Amino acid sequence: MDDGKLFRNIILDGKPIAGCELAYSGKHDNTRLYVSKSAEGNGFYAHAVAFASVPAEKGQSDVWAHPELEVDTVFEVTAYFDGVRHLEFNRNGNDMDGYLYYPPMADLIKMLEKVREIELEICRDADKD
């Protein structure tokens, strides 16, 4: 077990991620986005995770509550009064891989939507929402 992948070890804005607001849950609840909003209303932190594994236990219905749940970080966001400043995808340690400073959020969203459009057009078994 990789302690760095344990869901219970992820800290968002100084708090355990499980205690933060669940802002999004994927279609099959295998991806989640948690946020911590500034009390002053001028920024937020966000952390997106994807389910990786959990030990099988009889009667365990909520895998997200399991103490040994492992997740993969999809991305992390730091936003201040002027918008998203830091967006990190799959950071590998302390290097700069996967880091965007003042990312063009509108363009990123449009690019991902275009990828989805092409996926639905080309990939015959793509999950149709």
Is position 94 within any domain? yes
d(CA 50, CA 10): 13
pLDDT at position 16 is 96
pLDDT one-digit tens code per residue, 57-110: 777 778 999 999 999 999 999 999 989 999 998 765 556 678 888 888 999 999
Is position 120 within any domain? no
Report whether pLDDT(129) > 80: no
Is position 109 within any domain? no
Is position 113 within any domain? no
**Residue 81, domain extent:** 3-103
Provide the pLDDT confidence category of residue 126 given band limits of 50, 70 and 90: confident
In the chain, the number of structural domains is 1
> What predicted TM-score, i.e. pTM, was given to this entire model?
0.83
112 in helix, strand or coil? helix
Is position 119 within any domain? no
d(CA 22, CA 62): 15
pLDDT at position 71 is 94
Mean pLDDT of all residues in 9-30: 94
pLDDT at position 128 is 65
